[in-house]
Amino acid sequence: MSIFDYEDAEALGKIISVDTAVVVVRVDELERLKRVQVNRLVALQSSKAGQHLVGVVSRITRKALDTQPEEPQPEADEIVELPENNLVRVSLIGTLIDKLGLQENVFRRTLETVPEIDANCFALEGKRLTNFMQVISNVTGEGPQLELGKYTLDEKATAFLNGNRLFQRHAIVVGSTGSGKSYTTARVLDQVAALGQANAILFD
């Protein structure tokens, strides 16, 4: 089953411009535009069935269109709402394929296609973001899933590690002062200790 089970009503907007690896999305509703932030992930309809393109928001613009007011002229105290052009620039980073052979939800860091004009663009957040991050991190039902915390992209999305893959190699936690290195290490070790057959040696 595809992790991108979007309905058309959930779309942020529609694509109005397509370049090699960059698309521009027009967002008609202001409330939906407010949900978009730079560096957030979005999913776009692909021209191929069973595929979605994934992109990163790189720019957001909102400006009034250059239109001439129609006659007659409004009263001085009357507020005139000019039409606006809300645009979101998205850099494409890869393709999510619903099913590839026996595998489901396969992410490739290549562009199988480019989206079509008027294709829908969706916000990648919440449970869908969690599922997508698990796909690209190879976190599956095979082996323990270690919960790290929440993504800064979306606090409703949970970050996981694949325990088997973590234990098979050396790991290091880096970050600036106060970024949560000790908390992350303690959280991982706490979950490792709860596993049935896990062995860990901690050097401090």
- pLDDT level of residue 83 (50, 70, 90 thresholds): low
Q: How confident is the model at residue 42 (pLDDT cuts 50, 70, 90)?
A: very high
Q: Of the ranges 16-25, 131-140, 190-199, which is most confident?
A: 16-25
pLDDT averaged over the chain? 81
Cα–Cα separations (whole angstroms), residue 196 to 38, 146, 191: 42, 14, 11
Q: What is the DSSP letter of 69?
A: P
Residue 23 has pLDDT above 60, yes or no: yes
Structural domain boundaries in the chain: 1-124, 139-204
pLDDT at residue 75, rounded to an integer: 57
Residue 130: the pLDDT is 85
Q: Which pLDDT belongs to residue 59?
A: 93
Cβ atoms 36, 60 nearer than 8 A: yes
Asked if pLDDT for residue 148 goes beyond 90, the answer is no
% the chain with pLDDT above 70: 85
Over 90: is that where the pLDDT of 54 sits?
yes
Closest residue by Cα to residue 120 from 200, 19, 22, 26: 26
Please give the structure tokens belonging to residue 177: 């002062």
CA distance 179 to 152: 12
With bands split at pLDDT 50, 70 and 90, how would you rate the model's confidence at 92?
A: very high
